């Protein structure tokens, strides 16, 4: 068994022990979660889900893969969150609730909530890499995914490239080197053009014409389902997603855009591992409750490994600049 596998088992045991409520908590109706961590967890769930839906579109809609598929899914997911063209969405979502979960976003500079959402995703990759290095875990060079630290820098670059004129502090806080940063605006523009090409291709190749916005969703659509959860924490996750996530209007908008070749189910379920994956033979995207447990676990390290580090980095940069 590899070092990373041993570490994974150890962390999983810690997470399960930490978040399974004791009998007293259950009887008093209290959940062992703090709503203050909801934005971090929800943002990472949104990114993960949309990443998996990109895999769905690659398989079901025939999007060509021109490089590593996992990198392509990361890039398209980030650009959908950040793009003024609103990514794969063609018509406004209905039933808006509050600005932080409106979809599509308002054209113009990225909203503060969008930057916060991307920062939470970026922090998760930083924390994962920091834990792996500190625990001397085996680095999975052969994995189909890029290393956590590479995904971290890619997300920082795309976010910065969306609005470099106003995100210089963001770049410094996230320690993106200047020699990478100077290409980020161009990188984002290329990715956005690629997404626009995909959007047009999907629209032109749709099996059926686009539906009026008020027409009910077709049978062949993305459907979101939550399996009955055993742990109260998992029921809390559902409440977070229902009340603070763009996930529902995003899926609604995807369903309005065009018909899927077959019904696709997004299922939140217990999997036995912290994971999310697209299963083509079942036409299902599996979102594991254990992965949400993992995001809760990562949040424990966010202050030390991410927030404090960003403040220190920005402070040092400004101090050095002042003494030049």
| Nearest to 174, CA basis, from 126, 114, 109 | 126
pLDDT at 3: 45
CB–CB of 314/169 below 8 Å?
yes
Domain membership of residue 9 (yes or no) is no
pLDDT tens track for 44-89: 999 999 999 999 989 988 888 988 999 999 999 999 999 866 554 4
Domain membership of residue 1 (yes or no) is no
Domain membership of residue 250 (yes or no) is yes
Domain membership of residue 15 (yes or no) is no
User: In the chain, how many domains are there?
Assistant: 1
pLDDT tens track for 175-202: 999 999 999 999 999 999 988 888 887 7
The answer on pLDDT for 250 being more than 90 is no
Domain membership of residue 16 (yes or no) is no
pLDDT at 27: 29
Domain membership of residue 188 (yes or no) is yes
Range of the domain at 127: 37-322
Domain membership of residue 4 (yes or no) is no
pLDDT tens track for 220-241: 689 999 987 778 899 899 999 9
pLDDT at 185: 96
Domain membership of residue 26 (yes or no) is no
């Amino acid at each position: 068994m590899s070092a990373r596998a041993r570490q994974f088992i150890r962390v999983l045991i810690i997470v399960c022990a930490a978040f399974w409520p004791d009998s007293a908590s259950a009887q008093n109706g209290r959940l062992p979660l703090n709503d203050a961590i909801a934005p971090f967890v929800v943002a990472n769930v949104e990114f993960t889900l949309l990443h998996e839906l990109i895999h769905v579109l690659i398989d079901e809609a025939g999007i060509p893969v021109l490089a590593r598929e996992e990198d392509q899914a990361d890039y398209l997911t980030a650009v959908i969150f950040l793009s003024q063209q609103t990514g794969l969405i063609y018509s406004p979502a209905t039933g808006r609730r509050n600005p932080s979960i409106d979809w599509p976003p308002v054209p113009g500079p990225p909203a503060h909530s969008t930057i916060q959402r991307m920062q939470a995703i970026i922090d998760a990759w930083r924390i994962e890499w920091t834990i792996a290095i500190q625990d001397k875990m085996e680095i999975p060079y052969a994995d189909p995914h890029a290393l956590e630290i590479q995904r971290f820098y890619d997300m920082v670059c795309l976010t910065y490239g969306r609005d470099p004129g106003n995100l210089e502090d963001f770049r410094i806080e996230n320690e993106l080197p200047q020699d990478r940063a100077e290409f980020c605006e161009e990188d984002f523009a290329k990715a956005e053009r690629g997404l626009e090409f995909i959007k047009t291709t999907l629209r032109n190749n749709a099996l059926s014409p686009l539906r009026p916005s008020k027409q009910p969703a077709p049978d062949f659509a993305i459907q979101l389902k939550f399996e009955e959860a055993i742990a109260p924490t998992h029921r809390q996750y559902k409440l977070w997603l229902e009340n603070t996530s763009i996930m529902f209007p995003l899926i609604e908008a995807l369903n309005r855009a065009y018909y899927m070749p077959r019904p696709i189910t997004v299922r939140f379920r217990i999997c036995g591992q912290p994971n999310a994956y697209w299963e083509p033979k079942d036409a299902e995207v599996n979102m594991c409750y254990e992965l949400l447990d993992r995001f809760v676990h990562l949040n424990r390290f966010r202050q030390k490994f991410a927030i404090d580090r960003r403040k220190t980095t920005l402070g040092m940069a400004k101090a050095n600049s002042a003494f030049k």
